[in-house]
Structure 1
Amino acid sequence: MDNSILVVMKLSLLFGPLLIGFIGVGVNCYIAYRDLNAILGVFKKSNIVTSYGDVWGNGSFSARCVLASIVSGNVLFPRKHIRNGSLDPNELACLPASIKTRMRWSVGLMFFGVISLVGVVVVAEFLKWLAGA
C-alpha cells in the first residue's frame, strides 16, 4: 500500500471521531441558542431543570450550552429524576418531539465521538505496545 494512503487512513481514524463529537457539540449549541427558552418554559415544576435554569439560563452562551447538555441528559435519561420527584413526567410529555430529537442527536453524537476516540487511542497504544514487545 502507498504510504500516503496509510497516512490518510490514520488521520481519518483519529479525526473522524473528533468530527462526529464536534457535530454533536454543534447541535448542542443550536439547542442552547434556539430551543433553551422553550425548554425552560415547559419545565416550570421540575426542580432538576429550574434549579440549573435559574442560575445559568440568562448567562453567557457557554453557560447556556452547559445548561442545554445538563437538561438533555435529564430529559433523555429521566427514570431516576422522575422516581425521586425532581422531574415532572407531565412536563416531560409536553416537550416538543423535535427538541427531544435534537437532544438525542446531540447526546448520541457526543457520546459516540468520545467513545470512538477512546477506542482509537486504546488500539493505538496496544499496537505501540505490540511493536515494542
Structure 2
Amino acid sequence: MLDTEAFRDRMATLPHDLSEYARVQTGPASWSAHPHAEELSAWALEDHVDPALVRTTALLVDISPTDVPHVAVPHADVAQLVSHREAFVVASINGEATLETMLDIVGLPSGELLAIICSLCARGIVALDRSHRLVTR
C-alpha cells in the first residue's frame, strides 16, 4: 500500500504564489458563502426590485435558441433608445434569424449578445417570436 503522506512530502512544489491566479480563474465568491447570505437573499426577494430587471430575469429563464427576435418599435426611434452596442445588435435583427443563428453571425460573445437581447426585450424594443419552439412532452 502506498503511503500518501510520505509521497506528498517528496513531491516538488511550485515556487510561485498561485493565489491570484486561482482567484481570477474561479471568479467572485458565491453569495451563499457570504457571512450574511440569508440577509442578502431576503433583500434580493424584496419588492423594491426594478420591474425591468424582473422582466429581464424572466427572459433569461425563458429563452430558447429557436426564438426569433424582431424589432418592436419604429426604426426611427431605435437610435434614441439604445447604446451603440445595442444598435449593432438591433441592426443584425432581420426577423428571420433565430437566436442560435445570431450567436454565430453577430460576432459578440454569446453571454453579451444574450444580455443585450434580454435588455432590449425588457425595455420593449425587441420581442421574441417563440412559435418556432419544439414541443416536448
- TM-score with structure 1 setting the length: 0.29
Q: Which has the higher contact order (CA 8 A, sep 6+)?
A: 1
Over alpha carbons, which structure has the higher Rg? 2
The structure with the greater share of residues assigned to helix is 1
The structure with the greater share of residues assigned to strand is 2
- TM-score with structure 2 setting the length: 0.28
